[in-house]
């Protein structure tokens, strides 16, 4: 799958003769199914019209803070906050100087300054301007801010001179972006489902049976899978945590709601991590009104909830990776081994209540991971983020060479 598919790109265009190449670049980005919002500097409109670029990008082109038609002052800096990345092509020597020094006298520079996303700069200028120490100094400043430079080409320039400074060809820009975006993203194109947090099982409208799960482990796994390129759905029981916007979060309360949400996405999911602390039992007949205290003794009849991990395990296909968790107090390894085969999981992440710093509520965890083919592996006490990295590394390896685990 193209690493550009579905990406929201803010494309900044500066005043340079190379601006004409941007029409082809936008068409290529459209073919990759990326969505493009063009921002032009006022000077660039002398080289190519906003009408051309808005027609090709299927979006209105923004040039000024002030919309002369509506008479409104529009603050579009939010574009840089929500884009997957920003690409400035062609990036003129003047714009590079402004960005390197924090000037902000046009809309493009203002969006750049407030952007939180990666920024790619594709410079275009005459060879002597490119070589000048001022330009090279500005480029090193921009690199030091984390911006990524798409190197200009070598060839005939608009001035008639031959040398370095030509805007990279649109196909080269696309190839550079594809390569850069897929680096360190071994799960690009994969889908993942993660459950996290506790479930609350209603006794009556104001009371429930729950547990102390904070959801921290599951949220850390969801974030790590997302950063490795997977498209993540997080089904979360009640927690105070908030996942990043790139993760689709479905909030649920009960085990039944969690099962329904998982069931809805399971078939189209490559990676399934069940880290939620799901209640094993739920009140058989929750009261519709608040229960009043009358008798000395009070009994709640419980029934089993659906075993989400076990049910999905039975439906699992060979190219899906399924991970369950086990929190044990005794006979840890034996119980976890049994869980691995009973639930048809590929891995079981075992937490022992006997390990200090592991389990519910803490920021750290100490796990042993059991797999179908290898001996259990013990990990040190680590932050939940680092544990998430260990778990996700196993997922990457498993996805790259799936084990035929359905017996
Ligand atoms: N789980 C689940 N659905 C449930 C209960 C648990 O998906 N109704 C998942 C949890 O998310 C976790 C694993 O199963 O990944 C934990 O299993 P656990 O409840 O400990 O396993 P059981 O063997 O069913 O229970 P027990 O240890 O009590 O025998």
Q: Give residue 175 CA to ligand 1 midpoint distance, Å.
A: 45
To the question of pTM greater than 0.85 for the whole model, the response is no
When pLDDT is averaged across residues 387-394 and rounded to a whole number, the result is: 97
When pLDDT is averaged across residues 364-390 and rounded to a whole number, the result is: 93
When pLDDT is averaged across residues 364-370 and rounded to a whole number, the result is: 93
The residue whose C-alpha atom lies closest to atom 14 belonging to ligand 1 is 309
Is 322 in contact with 269 (CB distance < 8 Å)? no
Does residue 288 surpass a pLDDT of 80? yes
Structure-model confidence comparison of residues 304 and 407, the more confident one: 304
Q: Give residue 193 CA to ligand 1 midpoint distance, Å.
A: 16
For residue 373, what pLDDT band results from cuts at 50, 70 and 90? confident
- CA 145 from chain centre, in angstroms, equals 22
Mutate to test the pocket of ligand 1, among 280, 341, 342, 360 (most ligand atoms within 8 A of CB): 280
Strands (E), 20-98: 35-40, 66-67, 72-73, 85-91
Rounded to whole angstroms, the Cα distance separating 194 from 313 reads: 14
Rounded to whole angstroms, the Cα distance separating 259 from 249 reads: 15
Percent of the chain with pLDDT over 90: 79
Structure-model confidence comparison of residues 390 and 373, the more confident one: 390
For residue 112, what pLDDT band results from cuts at 50, 70 and 90? very high
Does residue 96 surpass a pLDDT of 80? yes
- For residue range 18-48, what is the model confidence (pLDDT) as tens digits? 999 999 999 999 999 999 999 999 999 999 9
Percent of the chain with pLDDT over 70: 97
Is 231 in contact with 247 (CB distance < 8 Å)? no
For residue 1, what pLDDT band results from cuts at 50, 70 and 90? low
Mutate to test the pocket of ligand 1, among 326, 329, 336, 352 (most ligand atoms within 8 A of CB): 326
Nearest of 97, 9, 90 to residue 43 by alpha carbon: 90
- Tell me the CB-side half-sphere exposure of residue 319, using CA atoms within 13 A: 7
Rounded to whole angstroms, the Cα distance separating 370 from 325 reads: 10
| Lowest-confidence pick of 66-80, 224-238, 357-371 | 66-80
Rounded to whole angstroms, the Cα distance separating 316 from 329 reads: 28
Structure-model confidence comparison of residues 103 and 354, the more confident one: 103
Residue-averaged pLDDT of the chain: 92
| Helix, strand, or coil (residue 22) | helix
Q: Give residue 378 CA to ligand 1 midpoint distance, Å.
A: 21
Q: Give residue 326 CA to ligand 1 midpoint distance, Å.
A: 7
Confidence (pLDDT) at 359: 67
The residue whose C-alpha atom lies closest to atom 22 belonging to ligand 1 is 339
When pLDDT is averaged across residues 75-93 and rounded to a whole number, the result is: 88
Confidence (pLDDT) at 200: 98
| Alpha-carbon dihedral sign for residues 201, 204, 205, 211 | negative
Catalytic residues, which ones? Answer: 211
The length of the chain is 407
DSSP tag of 47:
T
Confidence (pLDDT) at 403: 52
Domains and CATH numbers, the chain: 8-182 (3.40.50.1950), 191-405 (3.40.50.10300)
Confidence (pLDDT) at 407: 36
Strand (E) or helix (H) holding 8: strand 8-13
- The long-range contacts involving 134-143, CB below 8 angstroms and separated by at least 24 positions, are 134/97, 135/93, 135/96, 135/97, 137/100, 138/93, 138/96, 138/97, 138/99, 138/100, 138/101, 139/96, 139/100, 141/100, 141/101, 142/96, 142/99, 142/100
């Amino acid at each position: 799958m193209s690493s550009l598919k579905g990406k929201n790109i803010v494309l900044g265009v500066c005043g340079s003769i190379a601006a004409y190449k941007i029409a082809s670049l936008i068409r290529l980005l459209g073919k990759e199914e990326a969505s493009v919002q063009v921002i032009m500097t006022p000077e660039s409109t002398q080289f190519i019209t906003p009408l051309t670029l808005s027609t090709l990008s299927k979006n209105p082109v923004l040039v000024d803070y002030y919309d002369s038609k509506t008479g409104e002052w529009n603050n579009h800096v939010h574009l840089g906050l929500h884009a997957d990345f920003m690409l400035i092509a062609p990036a003129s020597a003047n714009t590079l100087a402004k960005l390197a020094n924090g000037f902000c006298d046009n809309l493009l520079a203002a969006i750049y300054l407030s952007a939180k996303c990666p920024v790619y700069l594709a410079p275009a200028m005459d060879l002597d301007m490119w070589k000048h120490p001022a330009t090279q100094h500005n480029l090193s400043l921009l690199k030091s801010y984390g911006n990524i430079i798409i190197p200009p080409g070598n060839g005939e320039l608009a001035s008639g001179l031959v040398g370095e400074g030509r805007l990279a060809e649109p196909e080269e820009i696309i190839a550079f972006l594809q390569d850069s975006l897929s680096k360190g993203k071994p799960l690009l194109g994969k889908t993942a489902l993660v459950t996290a947090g506790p479930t609350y099982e209603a006794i009556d409208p104001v009371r429930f049976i729950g547990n102390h799960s904070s959801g921290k482990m599951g949220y850390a796994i969801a974030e790590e899978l997302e950063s490795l390129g997977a498209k993540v759905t997080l089904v979360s029981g009640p927690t105070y945590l908030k996942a990043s916007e790139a993760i689709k979060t479905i909030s649920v309360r009960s085990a039944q709601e969690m099962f329904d949400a998982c069931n809805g996405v399971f078939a189209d999911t490559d990676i399934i991590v069940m880290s939620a602390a799901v209640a094993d039992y739920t009140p058989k007949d929750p009261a519709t009104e608040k229960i009043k205290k009358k008798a000395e003794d009070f009994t709640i009849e419980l029934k089993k909830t659906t075993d989400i991990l076990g049910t999905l395990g039975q439906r699992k296909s060979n190219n899906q990776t399924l991970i369950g968790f086990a929190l044990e107090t005794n006979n840890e390894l034996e119980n976890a081994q049994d869980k691995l085969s009973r639930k048809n999981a590929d891995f079981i992440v075992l937490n022992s209540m006997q390990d200090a710093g592991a389990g519910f509520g803490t920021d750290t965890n100490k796990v042993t991971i059991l797999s179908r083919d290898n001996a259990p592996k013990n990990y040190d006490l680590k932050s939940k983020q680092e544990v998430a990295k260990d778990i996700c590394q196993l997922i990457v390896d498993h996805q790259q060479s799936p084990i035929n685990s359905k017996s």
